[in-house]
A = this chain, B = another copy of it.
Amino acid sequence: MKIGLIGFGKVSQNLINLIKSQDITFITSTEKRSQSTIESIKKSGIEVVDTFKEVALASDILISANSPKNAVDVAKEYGKYAKGIYLDLNNVSPDTTFKINEHVDNLVDGAVIGKIDSKNPILYLSGPKAHELEFLNEFIDIKIVSDRIGDAAILKLLRSTYTKTLSAILIESSEIAKKHDLEEDFFEILALSEGKDFKEKSESRINNTLNSKTRKSEELVEIINYFDDDELVMVKAALKKLSQ
């Protein structure tokens, strides 16, 4: 079996490391790649062909792992050559997933939960053909969400809905605690019900959010736009909180 890679960043490189089997070979191309990427590809020792069109044609599974903003273009250009499964791992929104699906026959949409180079990344997959990738479970934790295209992306957005709104309430409540000179006690008293690592985890969430307010706000806007609904009271408040 051949797995083709369009894109040779962290995701692709880690998949090569994780999926080691006599029955599976990887293939990619150096077409229009930067010098440093070409070096990485050479070092990996996988099969290299001249063009990504050839990669697509040769692959049983074609993996698109580039960047969210290139995901649709890659699907448009190479989707038509992919006869097997087309696995999108570009961390895109559900709407982008639906656009990709217009250009691809056997799309499986995937979301990596946890960092791909962490100890236990989990690959969430959805789409009618998702179950055909279950065999990868031997190499990386696979979770089939459903046979509906977009569900993996929606699930990732739902997770984000919770964690980003949570960060906003952590920011707000710890700010009030600080004003009353009770910040330490605040974290301590909540650790009783929320777990011993509450303070450490919360501070990391707060800092992480405050240090990238613009990006987090954009992600909240994306959530609001996708789950377009009057009832999104808390998410809208989180966006307001980040603009304070």
Contacts and interface: CB of A to CB of B under 8 A. Distances in A.
Dominant secondary structure of chain A at its interface with chain B: helix
A18 interface: no
Contact of A172 (B122, B124, B155, B233): B233
| Number of copies of chain A assembled together | 2
Given A231-B172, A234-B172, A234-B238, A122 B155 contact: no
Contacts of A192: 113-114, 122
Q: How large is the interface on A (under 10, 10 to 19, 20 to 34, 35 or more residues)?
A: 35 or more
A235 interface: yes
Interface in A137-175: 145-146, 151, 154-155, 158-159, 161-163, 165-166, 168-170, 172-173, 175
Contacts of A173: 158, 161-162, 165, 234
Given A158-B180, A172-B234, 6 more contacts: A159-B186, A159-B189, A161-B172, A163-B190, A163-B193, A233-B241
Interface of A: 113-114, 122, 124, 145-146, 151, 154-155, 158-159, 161-163, 165-166, 168-170, 172-173, 175-177, 180-182, 185-186, 189-190, 192-193, 195, 227, 229, 231-238, 240-241, 244
